[in-house]
Structure 1
Amino acid sequence: MIIKQPMTMSEKILAKSSNNPSAQSGQTVWSKVNILMTHDPCSPGVISIFKKEFGDQAKIWDKNKHIMIPDHFIFTSDKKANANVDMMREFAEEQGHKYFYDPKTNNYKGVCHIALAEEGHNRPGEVLVGTDSHTVTSGAFGTFAIGVGNTDAAFILGTGEILLRVPETIKVIFHGKIEPHIMAKDLILLLLKDLTTQGATYQTIEFSGEVINNMTVEDRMTLCNMVIEAGAKNGIIIPNRETIEYVKERSTINEFEIIEPDKSANYTKILEYDLTNIQAQIAKPHSPDNVDSIINVEGKKIDRAYIGSCTGGKTSDFLAAAQILKNRKVTIETFGVPATKQVFYDIINQQIGNKSVYEILVDAGVNMTGEASCAACCGGPIDTFGRINSSMSVISTTNRNFSGRMGDKSASIYLGSPLSVAATAINGYITNPKEFI
């Protein structure tokens, strides 16, 4: 008789995907991959390796499971960046791809991590692999979602499998009741302050607690998105009713399994937080774990505010910013970039009072003329919308503030929630959003 050992969420999913009765941390398994996502910075490398190893005429393992989403360096005149997308387009035609979201067509979506969710590619209990570190965002759906390099992605492209070491798991429990001026971004920054950028290296962060149970889909995405900043292999959350309904409304595959951890599962660490009196959190230059309470950095002069990215460019992020910016004006240069075209449509159609969210932002002085994409979050070519081209201080809803991350290496980047960014944009210095809520 085989006695199954208690397992965490990630262990259970990898046991299932590798056709094993159990999987324990430290074990190596061959896992089936349900979805492979590649984007424009990495697709050419993945395609080149695939053709070298499997042959110029080789067919990928499943044309319906390889999702290609250009999003990083697309709205630019840079020839090398454009060549990347051209190569993706040619490969999609060769292989008969069903899911290539081409910027030259109405099928273009926007930032890959948000588009994966919107288009129904995230499903509980599955393994999703992407060529971007923030692929971990999909863990919000109870998915084992990880980022990998080009070689691993090329192997998946040919075989549909990946060799993985099963990660250990850190359990994070959020208790209490958070105040209206606190967002998921504040929670993940608080966790990063404790874990640091290396505190969860090659480990799963499994979120739980009553705060998580009641959290919206997009807030869950924000949490899982930034676990990579602690070095984590992935972040994961048991899907709640709202999450399950979200998936069912979008996915063409309605057969999926909700995986929950065993009560006696083994965790390498358990961190518990009472969030009842938490303050807004700010990551100071030049690391996402250089986190402080906003109370200690209030008054710091800021030159530019930025709302966007897979972390802070979702519909709920712009809605939060609009709640503060309604009937007010920004006093510093402020950019807003919807993560996807769907987010853009949402903020045009969603109203606060007698104005749409989009109208409120524009009336407040936010520059919303950029196309849905990663834009300035990852720097990009010199003509990238919102890119920092000179030394300045910026507060952003994005996920990283390393030197040079948004352009100029001498810039100082502060990270905060959409509420904190909006409040700061009004005053021109770091401002506690509680002042406006």
Structure 2
Amino acid sequence: MVSSLRQRNYRLYFFGQLVSVMGTWMQTVAQSFLVLDLSHSGTVLGLSTAARFVPILLFGPAGGLYADRHDKRRILYATQTLSGLLAAAFAILTATGVIRIWSVVMLALALGFVNVFDNPARQSFITEMVPPEDLANAVTLNSVAMNLARVFGAALGGILVAALGLATCFAFNAVSFVAVLASLAAMNAAMLYPSRRVKQRKGQIRAGLAYVRETPGLLIPLLMIALVGMLAWEFPVTLPLMASRVFGGGAGTYGLMTSVMGAGAVVGGLVSAARAKLRARSLCLAAIGWGVAITVAALAPSLWTELVVLLFVGYGSITFNSYAKTTLQLTARPEMRGRVMALWGLAWQGSTPIGGPLVGWIAQATDPRWSLIVGGVPTLLCGLLALPALARVDRRALAAASETSATPGAERAAVSGSA
């Protein structure tokens, strides 16, 4: 379940990320309620959330190519430092009372440009800290760290917003990036498993896109991720509106809902990490279960019922997400991994500029419950529709593995006969 933590470099990275992402979730809670305080609009909340992901939508593949060409650890030094500075800017503007919607959007856009380079480098760097046999476990445990951070970060964020104000959450996030920078500095470079860097040539982004288009084991999961990321993974928009308009709560209620969902995700992550083998069709089964859970969460009659269901929503979210990332990491060729993971970021987060405002508008125009339904039902349907295709991918992979394992035996037999 935790085999990848035996690797010292990955262990440092894991705990550094845990601290940093706690700060990020504290900022997420604070930013959502900052926007609602300034605008009183679900649509504006969706637009401000989407602004962070517009650069990924426009430039995500270029960031992936940059990661394939350069030292990923050095990229992370730069991107994590810039992220900390932007969080500090949020804190100062909020504390001084000069923050406005336009400045929230501009800071979110700036963070999005940082994430264009940070996301593919951070995701593909995992493969350089562990041997191949620990990769699936490392990817899943990384998702566990994200959700452990969500549990504690969102809960602390809700408490700090109520007790000390919004600016405190932004300040804590700024300081939390020190943990990541310290973990990178403490790594032993000799214990890394660096991938071969891609030499600069023309048409490499197009080559990455063509590679994905011709590889069903990559294309189908990425299409699923794009749909689910656009409609279902909009919880920074849907949960604040559910907390305030359906259940009559505030930042504390939102923090509690996010923490409960994160707790379910931690359990799901540990179960996923313990799996010895992962098949492509497992992603479809995860999508089906997650879609059902999101739809049931939309119909919950009370806050306590909602909290129980959100445990299963969290379980489904990390199962789907970790299966998706693991499938892509294991299927992609090493020299294409940065570009493939950039497309994961484009599909998962770059779809938010479309989905965030759409989901926010649906919640504003109708009822926040519908903002969950339009995520849950399509997630369920895409799992059902993709299941036959990914089952074929599994059968081809099994046949190829059988041929590979049979060949050495045949060669040994031939050698024995000739002797």
More strand by share: 1
Select the structure with the greater relative contact order (CA < 8 A; seq sep ≥ 6): 2
Q: TM-score band, normalised by the shorter chain?
A: under 0.3
Q: TM-score, normalised by structure 2?
A: 0.27
